[in-house]
Structure 1
Amino acid sequence: MPEEQYNQKLENLPPVGSAYPPVIEINHRKKAAIVVSLFLQNGADMPLSQLPGDLQTDLTHQMAQLRLVDQKTLKAVIDEFTRELNSIGLSASGGLESTLTLLEGKISKSTINQLRKDAGVQLVANPWARIKALKTSDLLPFVQNESVEVSAVIMSKLDVQKAAEILSQLPGDQARSISYAISMTYNVTPASMDRIGQSLIAQMDNQPERVFEKSPAERIGMILTVTSQKIRDEVLSGLGKTNQAFADMVRQSVFTFDDISERLSAKDIPQIIRSIDHEDLVKGLSHAKTQNSSDTVDFIISSLPKRLGETLLEDIESLSAIAPKDGEQAINRLIGSLQSMLAKGELFLN
């Protein structure tokens, strides 16, 4: 056979097939198993627990079935995976829960809660983190009104200090019943714990949207803080005759001049002094010394650097007598500055 004809026949022969099956024959589940296995073996941290349970199970089975993957197949799978990543223009986690989380604060709480209820979606992923962050005063009604068993679970999940504060505010019989019930919580399952948490969150959120962020007692307390002592005493006395429990809550919310030495740290005093007009400070402290508040004045001065404290004391002693009204107004402005710093988180009460 002439050489030219032989070469032509060789050219017309079909190409020899690959020794390995083309990547397109591998299904998406096996490709996912290959990609995940490669990433994990190279130390990547993949939050696979966020996948639905059935997908986690399927992925585990697919990875268990992998034996040897040749380099050509591995490269082809990774190339395809990279191409798909590069083609993504928008990534959304999908699902109602993720969508509602994205819309948190954009649509009303009542709408979010109703959608979750209709779809059987958890109200929050970790209800107990939110419950444990509540103030003792907010937790107390739940413990008082829930069954002994549920209250025991709540108390068991709280920090020891917070649980002790709540227990001390309960009637003796109820406190003893809950304490005993805590001993029976050993076999409470995670699912039961989550259901209790979700139920408590549902009760918390099943409230009409409020216009005021602070409670009535806190709002009255803030008003009385910057009124005269005479008006403050009259209002608190009148409230005590009408509703003693409410009067006690208001009294706790009132921040008076004498509270400075009891509820503020000495290291915060220099910061407070810098934020107050010097003339108001001198007038206010001078007036306070005539109103049986010398201990608080001494606390303020002793908390300042020595030279600054001595200068402030000299200014107070050299000040001529001032009208009680002017002195009280100066103290109110001082307390007003303190409240502003507390509201901004620049100061914290002991």
Structure 2
Amino acid sequence: MNAQTGLNPRQKAAIIVRLLLDDEAEVNLEGFDNDRQTLLAEEMANMDLIDRQTRDDVISEFCDNLEAVGVTFPGDLDGTLEILADRLSKDATDRLRRLVMMSGRGDPWPRVTGLPQEDIQVLAENEAVELVAVMLSKLSVAQASKTFSALDRERAQMVAQAMAMTRDIGPQALQRIGLVLAQAADALPHPGMEAPASGRMGDILNFASSDLRDDVLDLLDREDAVFAEDVRRAIFTFAHIPERIDPRDIPRIVRAVDQQVLVRALAQKTEKEAAAAAFILTNLSQRMADGLREEAAALGTLRPKDADEAANEVVAAIRRLQMEEGLTLIQPEDDR
């Protein structure tokens, strides 16, 4: 083919791209690195007229090469990881990305911009302001705004001043800064368990009996008052409904609970639980509330265990709505 056309591979590629553009095909060259894109553009700029026979020969060779291909690989780590998707563990994926970045062949910025917000915030608060300014420039506007707004005023002003230095930054310097930030992120401590200990203890106590919950909190008060306070903030029980649930969400919650379970939960006699039951009834239609009151009164006095189990089912329904349908709990007063 070379003997017939006298064209090198780059010239042939330029002809194919030109033909695709003439045909208004969607041509995406972003998969090429910058050097290849530049060479292709230069080759197209240096070419003039191509006769019809040469054009047809190039097309035939291109089609023959396509038909001869059995299987293709991405040719880079990002494409390979996209193919493997969820088949690799997060640790293995992170390790591969680190190895490629250390070799200088990979782009560190997807790794940096994909960090959890809390890690980005730590970098913003501890790395050199010049690096932070570059990082904010690479983040989405929403991410950058959130990160910048959380900085203390003096550091935010320093980062803003450093932003002017990002105007003339070159590709190599950008690569090095991304690598530094990625390495700093890898050095951040990450606990094996995502949820804090107080949150896990609070979730457990949510569904314990009220007597056991009170005993445990009394013990924690004596042994570790700070931890005990954090656990209290994490606990959400039936008694917390008036202070943690928006009244407008009560009908939605009631629909998510079996009516017989709800009636048993509303038959609470202890002071705090009875106040929560009254809060629920107050925020329902009068007809529905009256019907539920009558059913609860007909139950008489429930065993504490039965009342606790029913109340816990209501709490479980609220947690499901929170996780699956976006129900928002009001934060305790001292957390705001």
Alignment deviations for residues 229-272 of structure 1 (CA, whole Å, 9 cap, x no partner): 45445544554665565445444433333554555566655554
Work out the CA distance in 2 between the residues paired with 1:348 and 1:249: 22
Q: How far did residue 34 of structure 1 move?
A: 0.8
2:296 aligned to 316, 327, 330, which one?
Answer: 316
Alignment deviations for residues 128-165 of structure 1 (CA, whole Å, 9 cap, x no partner): 5423x52x5x555445544555566667853545654x
* Paired residues for 1:183-194 under 5 Å: 183-189=160-166
Give unmatched runs, 5+ long, in structure 1: 1-20, 168-174
2:156 aligned to 156, 163, 179, which one?
Answer: 179
Q: How far did residue 297 of structure 1 move?
A: 3.6
TM-score, normalising length: structure 1: 0.71
Q: Indicate yes or no: 2:197 matched with 1:216.
A: yes
Work out the CA distance in 2 between the residues paired with 1:150 and 1:74: 50
% of aligned pairs identical? 30
2:64 aligned to 83, 86, 103, which one?
Answer: 83
Matched position secondary structure for 1:292: helix
* Paired residues for 1:245-260 under 5 Å: 246-260=227-241
Q: Any conservation in 1 of the 2:101–2:108 contact (CA below 8 Å)?
A: no
Partner of 1:346: 325
Q: Indicate yes or no: 2:101 matched with 1:126.
A: no
Partner of 2:265: 284
Partner of 1:115: 99
Greater helix proportion? 2
Q: How far did residue 56 of structure 1 move?
A: 0.8
2:54 aligned to 68, 73, 97, which one?
Answer: 73
- Matched residue count: 317
Partner of 1:45: 26
Work out the CA distance in 2 between the residues paired with 1:272 and 1:264: 10
* Paired residues for 1:161-176 under 5 Å: 161=146, 163-164=148-149, 166-167=150-151, 175-176=152-153
- What code does the residue aligned with 1:106 have? L
Work out the CA distance in 1 between the residues paired with 2:162 and 2:49: 49
Q: Any conservation in 2 of the 1:127–1:198 contact (CA below 8 Å)?
A: no
Q: 1:199 to 1:28 in 2, by over 3 A?
A: same
- What code does the residue aligned with 1:186 have? M
Work out the CA distance in 2 between the residues paired with 1:101 and 1:205: 21
- The CA RMSD over aligned residues, in Å, is 3.8
Matched position secondary structure for 2:161: coil
Q: Any conservation in 2 of the 1:281–1:334 contact (CA below 8 Å)?
A: yes
Work out the CA distance in 2 between the residues paired with 1:36 and 1:144: 47
* Paired residues for 1:8-157 under 5 Å: 23-103=4-84, 105-106=87-88, 108-109=92-93, 111-122=95-106, 124-131=108-115, 134=117, 136=118, 141-147=122-128, 150=131
Q: How far did residue 339 of structure 1 move?
A: 3.0
Partner of 1:13: none
Q: How far did residue 64 of structure 1 move?
A: 0.8
